[in-house]
């Protein structure tokens, strides 16, 4: 864990724990004990205590006076609603991008992500050892398109909607080869709609992409 000295240590600890939870490294229902977390991160208990409180306020942890903190379990309904919110926000985001046009820096970043996805598919190892690389490529695609809107509201709501592990990290283990190809085809089509300044098409395709991921996530959660 790297720490910026100008930033409160509790926030660094919270970010590290959040990443592990959202990636699925810490499972739903698992207890997070101050001493164990502090030892594993080689910090004192004080920043850990504050980090756990922050994550509880964010809705990632449950707190019980007798048992302490544990990773929250999200129901199928929670997942369904979160995917609907995410789809709506990201759909609005790409619609805005298509209406106003994409800046050159964001366009280059988007093209690089698409090329990375093409290369992963060309290697023919999905599903398999490239799942983490695919997950990161997909994450970058969504981050680029939402940040390019320069809308604090869209960024905040879209981020909050992903505060559920399966919504954030996806359920790639449930994907077949055709699912990976379809997902990346939609990435390309969304980018094309943005660059051609076709807002309705861009929004419709983003909704399709996120809802597809939601259906596969529900299958993986069963």
pLDDT at 220: 42
**CATH number reported for the structural domain that contains residue 125 in this entry:** 1.20.120.530
Q: For 20-29, what is the mean pLDDT?
A: 82
Last residue of a domain, one of 71, 87, 105: 71
Domain shared by 41 and 93, yes or no:
no
Q: Alpha-carbon distance 142 to 44, whole Å?
A: 35
pTM of this structure: 0.71
Which tens digits make up the pLDDT trace of 103-120? 999 999 999 999 999 999
Q: Alpha-carbon distance 118 to 94, whole Å?
A: 21
Which tens digits make up the pLDDT trace of 44-57? 999 999 999 988 88
Q: Alpha-carbon distance 22 to 87, whole Å?
A: 18
pLDDT at 77: 79
Q: Alpha-carbon distance 71 to 21, whole Å?
A: 8
Domain shared by 129 and 190, yes or no:
yes
**CATH number reported for the structural domain that contains residue 23 in this entry:** 1.10.10.10
Whether 218 has a pLDDT exceeding 60, the answer reads no
């Amino acid at each position: 864990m790297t720490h910026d000295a100008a930033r409160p240590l509790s926030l660094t600890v919270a970010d590290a724990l959040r990443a592990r939870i959202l990636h699925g490294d810490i499972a739903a229902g698992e207890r997070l004990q101050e001493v164990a977390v502090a030892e594993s991160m080689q910090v004192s208990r004080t920043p850990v205590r504050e980090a756990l409180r922050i994550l509880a306020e964010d809705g990632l942890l449950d707190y019980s006076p007798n048992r302490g903190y544990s990773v929250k379990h999200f129901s199928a309904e929670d997942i369904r609603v979160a995917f609907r919110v995410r789809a709506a926000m990201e759909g609005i985001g790409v619609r805005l991008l298509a209406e106003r046009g994409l800046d050159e820096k964001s366009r280059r970043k988007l093209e690089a992500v698409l090329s990375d996805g093409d290369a992963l598919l060309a290697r023919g190892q999905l599903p398999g050892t490239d799942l983490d690389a695919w997950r990161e490529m997909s994450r970058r695609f969504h981050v680029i398109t939402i940040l390019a809107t320069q809308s604090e509201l869209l960024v905040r709501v879209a981020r909050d909607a992903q505060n559920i592990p399966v919504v954030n990290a996806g359920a790639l283990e449930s994907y077949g080869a055709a699912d990976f190809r379809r997902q990346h085809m939609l990435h390309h089509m969304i980018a094309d709609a943005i660059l051609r300044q076709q807002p309705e098409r861009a929004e419709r395709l983003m909704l399709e992409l996120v809802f597809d991921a939601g259906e596969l996530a529900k299958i993986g959660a069963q």
